[in-house]
Amino acid sequence: MSYIQDVLAQVERRNPGEPEFLQAAREVLETLEPVMARHATYQKARILERLVEPERQLMFRVPWQDDAGEVQVNRGFRIEVSSAIGPYKGGLRFHPSVNLSILKFLGFEQVFKNALTTLPMGGGKGGSDFDPKGKSDNEVMRFCQSFMSELFRHIGENTDVPAGDIGVGGREVGFLFGQYKRLRNEFTGVLTGKGLGWGGSLIRPEATGYGAVYFAEEMLKTRNESMAGKVCTVSGSGNVAQYTVEKLLQLGAKPVSLSDSGGTVYDPKGLNEEKLAWVMDLKNVRRGRIQEYVARWGGEFHSGATPWAIPCECAFPSATQNEITGTDARTLLKHGCKLISEGANMPSTPAAVDQFVSAKVLYGPGKAANAGGVATSGLEMCQNSMRLSWTRDEVDARLREIMVNIHAVCHRTAATYGQPGNYVLGANIAGFVKVADAMLAQGLV
Ligand code: NDP
C-alpha cells in the first residue's frame, strides 16, 4: 500500500461513521501523490497525519426555550482544523443534518480554500443541528444567544473568526454578534458577514456567488469563450444561488433554474432582474418555498428533483454536498454541459468528479470556485482592523482579482504537475503546499 493509502486507512479506522469527512480526506489526499513524491520532508514531518487531525474539536449543549415555553436542546460544534497560516476561519451551519462528520469535512476543505485566497486565514467550521426553518425571529434569537454563550470563550478576532453558511445569514450573524459583544464587552471583528452599519463589508453577501461566476469566466477564457448567452442551471435558492444568478445576468448569461429542498423550478425563458428580486424577497424576507415561483412567473416545478436533468451549457451547484451524483454527471455531460463551477462545498460525489475530470470539461471544485466568500470575509477582517470601509467597487475589484489569481495558481499548478486543466489537482496541491510549508517552518505543533 502506498504511503497515502496508509494514511487514509488510518483516517478510516480513527473516524468511524464519518463518511463525509472520509470522502473529503480521500479526495484531497489522493491528488497529493505527485507532491509527496517530490518533497520527502512532508512525509518525514508527518504533515498529512497532522492535517487530518483537527487542532481542536468543540462540542457543546445548546438549551433554549421555544415560543410555547418548551425547553429545546440542540448540539453545538466548532472544529478548529488548522491555524498554520492565520486565525481559524470558516462559517457556521445551522441545519438538521449537521453532525461531526459534515463539519469536519467542511473544516478540512476550508484549510486549503483559505490558503488559495492568499489571505492569512487558517481553517475551521462550526454550527448546530438547529433548524431555523419555521422558527420565529425570537426563537432564532434565543437559540443564537444560547449558542454564543458557550462559543464566545473559544473565539476572538485573532483566534477564530466564524461567518455564515447554510441557515446562517445576516439575521443570525446579528444575533450571534450581539451576544458576543455583550459577554465580552468589546466591539471587534469576531464574526464576518456583519450588517453594513456595524462593521460589515460591502459585497460580502454577493461574494460567493459572484466569485463562482468570476471563476467560471476565467475557466472559459482558457477556451476563448465567455459567459454571454450561455444557458446555465443553478441549484439552491439561498445566498450563493441568488448572487450567482445576479452575476450571470450581468454577464449576459441565461440562468434557467433554482431549487430548494422541496424541488426545482425550471424557467425555460430564463430568470431576469425582476424575477430575481422577487425570489430574494421570497427567500430572505417572506421565507417561503421556491415552488411559489411557478404560480407567479410560470415555468415548471419538478417536485423533489435537482436541476441536473435540465439541458445546460454551464452548471452552478449552489445548494449542498453530494447534490450531483454519478448519474447526474452523466446526464449533464450527455446534454453537452461543458462547465461546472461549484458554489456549494463538495456538491459533486466522487463518481461525478471522476466523470467531469475524465471528460476534460471545465470543472472548478468548490475549494477554488467558491473561495470568493471567505476571501471577502478576509477583506472584512482587514477593514475592521483598520476601522474603515472600502467602497463597493473597491471590494468587488479585489474579489475579482483574488478569483483571477486563484484560477491562475490552480491552472499553473495543474500544468506543473503534468495534468493541465485538472483544477482539482491544481487547487489541492497549491493549497496544501502553502499550509505544509508553514507547518514545517513552525516546528512540531
Ligand atoms: P443558504 O442557507 O442561504 O441556502 C441553501 C440553499 O440550499 C437553500 O435553497 C436550501 O433549501 C438548499 N439546501 C440546503 N440543504 C439542502 C439539502 N440537503 N437538499 C436540498 N437543498 C438543500 O446557504 P448558502 O447559500 O450560504 O450555502 C449554499 C452552499 O454554498 C453550501 O454548500 C455552503 O457550504 C456553500 N458556501 C457558502 C458560502 C457563503 O458565503 N454563504 C461560502 C462558500 C460556500 P432549503 O431552504 O429548502 O433547505
Question: Does the residue 260 lie in any domain?
Answer: yes
Residues lining ligand 1, Cβ inside 6 A: 164-167, 169, 208, 236-241, 260-261, 318-320, 343-345, 370, 373
Question: Does the residue 321 lie in any domain?
Answer: yes
> What range does the domain containing 93 cover?
3-187
Residue with CA nearest ligand 1 atom 22: 261
Q: How far apart are CA 427 and CA 218, in angstroms?
A: 14
Parallel, antiparallel, or unpaired: how do β-strands 160-163 and 88-94 relate? parallel
Of 129, 153, 187, the residue at which a domain comes to its end is 187
CATH number of the domain that residue 302 is part of:
3.40.50.720
Q: What is the number of the ligand 1 atom nearest to the C-alpha of 167?
A: 2
Q: Which pLDDT value is given to residue 1?
A: 72
Tell me the average pLDDT across 96-124: 98
What are the tens digits of pLDDT across the range 148-164? Answer: 999 999 999 999 999 99
Residue 191: which of 228, 149, 152, 229 has the closest Cα?
A: 152
User: Does residue 68 sit in the same domain as residue 132?
Assistant: yes
Q: Distance of CA 445 to CAs 52, 429, 442, Å?
A: 14, 22, 7
Instruction: Tell me the CB-side half-sphere exposure of residue 171, using CA atoms within 13 A.
Output: 19
Of 360, 388, 407, the residue at which a domain comes to its end is 360
> Count of domains in the chain?
2
Q: What would the grid cell of residue 292 be?
A: 411559489
Question: Does the residue 69 lie in any domain?
Answer: yes
Q: Which pLDDT value is given to residue 435?
A: 98
User: Does residue 168 sit in the same domain as residue 236?
Assistant: no
What are the tens digits of pLDDT across the range 261-286? Answer: 999 999 999 999 999 999 999 999 99
To test the pocket of ligand 1, the residue of 103, 206, 240 to mutate (highest count of ligand atoms within 8 Å of its CB) is: 240
Question: Does the residue 378 lie in any domain?
Answer: no
Residue with CA nearest ligand 1 atom 44: 344
Q: What is the number of the ligand 1 atom nearest to the C-alpha of 133?
A: 46
Question: Does the residue 423 lie in any domain?
Answer: no
List the beta strands (DSSP E) in 290-351.
300-303, 314-316, 339-341
User: Does residue 158 sit in the same domain as residue 218?
Assistant: no
Q: How far is the CA of 238 from the centre of ligand 1 (A)?
A: 6
Q: What would the grid cell of residue 14 be?
A: 480513527
Instruction: Indicate the average pLDDT of the chain.
Output: 97
Of 158, 187, 216, the residue at which a domain comes to its end is 187
User: Does residue 183 sit in the same domain as residue 235?
Assistant: no
- For the chain, the distance separating the N- and C-terminal CA atoms, rounded to the nearest angstrom, is 28
Q: Which pLDDT value is given to residue 445?
A: 85
User: Does residue 175 sit in the same domain as residue 222?
Assistant: no
Active site residue 44: no
User: Does residue 179 sit in the same domain as residue 243?
Assistant: no
User: Does residue 88 sit in the same domain as residue 226?
Assistant: no
User: Does residue 178 sit in the same domain as residue 220?
Assistant: no
Question: Does the residue 9 lie in any domain?
Answer: yes
Q: How far apart are CA 107 and CA 203, in angstroms?
A: 23
Question: Does the residue 374 lie in any domain?
Answer: no
User: Does residue 41 sit in the same domain as residue 162?
Assistant: yes
Q: Let me know the angle formed at the C-alpha of 23 by 58 and 222, rounded to the nearest 5 degrees.
A: 115
Question: Does the residue 366 lie in any domain?
Answer: no
Residue with CA nearest ligand 1 atom 5: 238
Q: Which pLDDT value is given to residue 440?
A: 98
In the chain, what percentage of residues exceed pLDDT 70?
A: 100
To test the pocket of ligand 1, the residue of 261, 290, 341, 403 to mutate (highest count of ligand atoms within 8 Å of its CB) is: 261
Q: What would the grid cell of residue 128 be?
A: 448546530
CB 102 within 8 A of CB 20: yes
Which residue in the list 104, 113, 125, 254 is annotated as catalytic?
125
User: Does residue 231 sit in the same domain as residue 333?
Assistant: yes
Transcribe 7-27 into DSSP letters. Answer: HHHHHHHHSTT-HHHHHHHHH
Q: How far apart are CA 243 and CA 430, in angstroms?
A: 27
To test the pocket of ligand 1, the residue of 133, 265, 320 to mutate (highest count of ligand atoms within 8 Å of its CB) is: 320
Q: Which pLDDT value is given to residue 190?
A: 97
User: Does residue 122 sit in the same domain as residue 177?
Assistant: yes
Residue 72 per-residue DSSP state? E
CATH number of the domain that residue 107 is part of:
3.40.50.10860
Q: Which pLDDT value is given to residue 326?
A: 98
User: Does residue 140 sit in the same domain as residue 95?
Assistant: yes
